[in-house]
Every structure is written in C-alpha cells, then in structure tokens.
Structure 1
Amino acid sequence: MEMNAIKVLPYTEEWASTFRQLAAIYQQHLEGLITGIEHVGSTSVPGLAAKPIIDIDLLIKEPSQLPPVVAVLEKLGYTWRGDLGIPGRDAFGRNADTTPDDSKETVWMTHNLYVCQEGCISLKNHLQLRDFLRQHPEAAQQYGALKQELAVKYPYDIDQYIEGKTAFITGILAQTGLQEDALQDITARNKAGK
C-alpha cells in the first residue's frame, strides 16, 4: 500500500465553506440529538497553514446520547470507531468519498468526525487551541511554519510529524489554563512509536 506524503497547504476559505456545508447536514439529521457543532483543528483558524483535512466535533451532553447519534451517522455513511483511547470522544470513519450522503452524490473534502461529550478534555483541548490561535495570529503563523517544516522533514511519518508539533501545542494549552495532568496526557499520547 502506497502512503501519501504529508502535505501542509496555505489557508483557504474553502475549508470554512466546506465545514458550513457539512454542519448543515449534521444539523438537519441530528437536530435534538446534539448540542453543538464545532469546526476545530488547523483548518478552523483563518490564515493558518494546515493539512487539508477538516476536523469536526459534534457535541452531546452525556454518554447515553451517543447511541442514537451513532445510528443517524451510520445512515449517513459513517462507521463508528469507538473512542480510540480518548475518553469522551468517539471517532467516525467515512465509508466513501460521498460520506455524508446528501442524496446529491457530493464528493466531500477529507474530514475527521468526532462526537464529544461536553466538558471532556479532548473537546477543551480542541476549543482552547483553536480560540487561542484565532486570537493570536503571530502564534498561528509560527505554528503553520512549524507544521510546514515537519512535513518536509517527515513526509511519510505521521507519528514523528505529530510528536514534533506537541511541545508547541502544549505550550499554548498551558497558557490557556489546561491542567498539568491533561498536558502530560497529550504529550504521552502524541509520542511517536507509542
């Protein structure tokens, strides 16, 4: 199996536009089951260079709300993958390039979909990092430059790429008040070869 090289691209408004289109589909099908839809990750920060993969968090209040959300997402063409070792955050894989099914055969940009319980550490991490980078363009520029350097240095090693970003991310999260044990957990999870 041939592995694709890691590509970090300049920011484009297409990312925000695609998020809005996807969010409209989730809102239509999950109304009453979720409490919010958040565009997170690097594509959610205007001006930030990023891998062209949109990260989306669907919010629920408590774990008992997960099964009906899973059922709807499966009808839209997603496969539930469980929490992948991250408590409070469940991941969903796409079954086809046309997932989610909008009945128009739309081929969607690559995206990662998660269902997060409100208040979980993973969600706090996503929102605090996004909000800090949106409010501090100079930090977003530094982060984008770091990601571009790492993509050149480790074009086929996503684990090294992720580990290389971790100190920068945890440094920002420390400034936003994320607790030390959560920062240590993020560092441990992002170690290459774990």
Structure 2
Amino acid sequence: MDRKRRFIAERIDEVSKICDRENPIYEQVSNFSIALYVLGYLSGPDVLSVRDMDFVEAGTILKEEFEPIARQDFPPHYSIFKSTDNYLLVIGDPDFPTHFAVVTDMHSPQPYFSKLDLYGSGFDSLAELEREFQGTDGVGEKDFFYYRMRQPALPAKTTPTKIYTLDNSGNYSIWEYQSPTYEKEERLCR
C-alpha cells in the first residue's frame, strides 16, 4: 500500500473512532467535509480541524475537482486501497448535493464510507443509503451518482539543475541533476 492509500486508511480509522466519544464536537462537521477529508482533499492535523462546508460549497468542489461517471462504467472490483483513483457516491442534485459517500471496496457488503446525521461515520451498503435518503429533500431513486476525483496535473518539465564541481588542480566539471538515480556528466572544462 503506498503512502497516499495508507493516509486514506488512517483517516477512515480516525473518523470512525471519533463518533464513539460522548458529546462529540464531531457532530458539527458535515458529511461533505468528512468525505473530502478522507480523500485528502481537505487537509488538517485531524478531522476536527478541517473546515466545515455546506451543500453549495460541496457542489462547487464537486464540479471543479471531480468528473461524473456512469454507474455502469464504475469499476466492479474497485478498492480504494489498491487503485490510484478515488470515487464518491453523490446523493441528491450534484449542484446542491445532499450527501457524499466515499467508495472504499466493492468486494465488501458495505462499500460506502460516510457520516450519517444520527448514526455517525461508518460503512453502509447502497441499499442502506437508499433507504436513508430516498424521500428526503426530494431525493429519488435516480439521484445517486458516481464521481471520480480528477488526478492532479503533472508539473511542467523543468530544466535540469546544474552542479559544478571543482578539484584541487583547478579543473571543474558541470553535472546535470536529472533524477535521484541518474546523473550525467555534461562536459569537462579547462
């Protein structure tokens, strides 16, 4: 498991443990913030320090940072701990969503991780989420959408760094630093 996936696993574990506390401040953190924190979109030392957001801001982030995919195009063997992609199940109107759930492992009977108002954070099945949200805030059976988080753009290629070395005889050489494992001598001077 790479570093990013390990972070996601740790964040899921952290969020899951917070709801066991008596009188949690955690109730003030929205399900949108929880889902985006788990995916690493929102950062902070812990879940209680991430900023809260409402459905308007969540819809804006969804448009800017995620792309919709058809339900039939969703990978059937997806696991957040093995894939480089991150997915959300969005419930309600995508412009003004009602709920975000992080898709974790499609081999699990409860592959969706999210925060529900009365139950805290945990894993749910699609049927459980449908029962929870259908009929509230105008959510119908066709108001369940999948979104894939966009991959960050690769940084622009930069010119290699030049390293000048000088020996005791006065000769020097210039090295191009191209990667941690590959250096080449450009030319010997003098």
TM-score clears 0.5: no
Greater helix proportion = 1
TM range (shorter): under 0.3
Query: Which has the larger Rg?
Result: 2
Greater strand proportion = 2
